[in-house]
Amino acid sequence: MIIILKSEVTDDQVAHVIERVEALGLRAHLSRGTYRTIIGVIGDEQKISAEPLRAIPGVHDVIPVLPPYKLASREAHPQPSIIDVSGVKIGGGNLAMIAGPCAVEDRERMDAIGSAVKAAGANIFRGGAFKPRTSPYAYQGMGEEGLKLLRETGDKFGLPVVTEVMDPRFVEMVERYADMIQIGARNMQNFSLLTEVGRCKKPVLLKRGMSATVEDLLMSAEYILSQGNSSVVLCERGVKSFDKATRNLFDVASVALVKGLSHLPIIVDPSHATGRPDLIPACALAGVAAGADGVHIEVHDCPERAKSDGPQALLPQQYAEVVAQIRKLAELFSKTISAPPAAAVKSKT
Ligand code: PEP
Ligand code: MN
């Protein structure tokens, strides 16, 4: 950490800053320039980052050298992390192909969509039983009944399942049915929810908030990691923008950026990022080309009857075409879509 002092700083103030640094068991290295004096702090930056140094008289600015997300950073873990979702590996050259309806629906729909995405090459099945809707009057999801249906469908087709949890009180319930727990964009900074999933044993799919910076996303991952759950997969799903042409603004650069900053896998969700089936294939491929460790796409066999997000759903045939293209691109980067090991997926109900 570097402490930059004000040009008019007094000797007493300099001595006071040094005293504060040394009281924390750290070393202060004073460097007096013609116009500015700076203090380099040597030692564990964590010890001092919590101190309100900017409030000390004579301090102009404080510049951390290390990122504030310690456990999520590349410095802490130079090799890419590989996350295991009931036998499906994500990261380190293994691509997740997550697909399914936005919301869990009736058994017939789930069977039709589950079998279609499995045949198309998906390795994880998705579906929301608790839906975060902007309107309280919109479809809210099936709750525990939906979790059971999702689990049954996953088991039937040999696919691990991922589903969203919105409330810390339901983490334990969702954990019983799901192989992976999703934290949706709207809850990325629900810190009590992050703490709760950090204490559970299942991998977490953490979606970027629609107004969150990349640093915010990594800080939210840090909440989960700091509770002891090291299985976190990040997801870029678009951020708010001024342009109404797409549902959100797909920030593909964030994928390459996160790869440099963190060891955690990051996948892309072109469904929520664009909201438009015609743009999903291009953005899925762009994500993989940028280094994404997987693609999350909403698929429905009858979008006009979907309970939520029907207009952005791909038809099973369209999804199969995207997966075929991703497979070719993956080969170019020596990556693979791991096959779901059916034997590893057990019924939790
Ligand atoms: C979803 O996955 O259906 C969802 C609601 O996503 P997001 O949180 O990214 O909007
Ligand atoms: Mn959705």
> Distance from the CA of 168 to the center of ligand 1, in angstroms?
17
Q: Ligand 1 pocket: which of 182, 296, 298 to mutate (most atoms <8 Å of CB)? A: 182
CA distance 121 to 249: 27
Among protein residues, the one whose CA lies closest to atom 6 of ligand 1: 184
pLDDT band at 166 (very low <50, low <70, confident <90, very high): very high
Q: What 8-state DSSP symbol labels residue 294?
A: E
Tokens of 57: 């008289």
Among protein residues, the one whose CA lies closest to atom 4 of ligand 1: 184
CA distance 6 to 277: 55
Among protein residues, the one whose CA lies closest to atom 10 of ligand 1: 185
> Distance from the CA of 241 to the center of ligand 2, in angstroms?
18
pTM across the whole model: 0.93
The per-residue pLDDT for 342 is: 63
Which residues is 128 bridged to in the sheet? 103
Contact (Cβ atoms closer than 8 angstroms) between residue 227 and residue 260: no
pLDDT band at 50 (very low <50, low <70, confident <90, very high): low
CA distance 178 to 180: 5
Mean pLDDT calculated for residue range 286-306: 98
Contact (Cβ atoms closer than 8 angstroms) between residue 133 and residue 315: no
Ligand 1 atom showing the smallest separation from residue 238 Cα: 9
Write down how long the chain is: 349
Q: What 8-state DSSP symbol labels residue 179?
A: S
Averaged pLDDT of the chain: 95
Contact (Cβ atoms closer than 8 angstroms) between residue 30 and residue 2: no
The per-residue pLDDT for 338 is: 86
Contact (Cβ atoms closer than 8 angstroms) between residue 112 and residue 281: no
CA distance 66 to 300: 44
Binding pocket residue ranges, ligand 1, CB within 6 Å: 102, 128, 132, 184-186, 207, 237, 269, 272
pLDDT, tens only, 306-338: 999 999 999 999 999 999 999 999 999 999 998
Which residues is 234 bridged to in the sheet? 206, 266
Residue with tokens 């410095």: 75
> Distance from the CA of 332 to the center of ligand 1, in angstroms?
30
Sign of CA dihedral 109, 115, 116, 117: positive
Ligand nearest to the CA of 236: 1
Q: pLDDT > 70: what percent of the chain?
A: 97
> Distance from the CA of 185 to the center of ligand 1, in angstroms?
6
pLDDT at 111 over 90: yes
Mean pLDDT calculated for residue range 60-75: 92
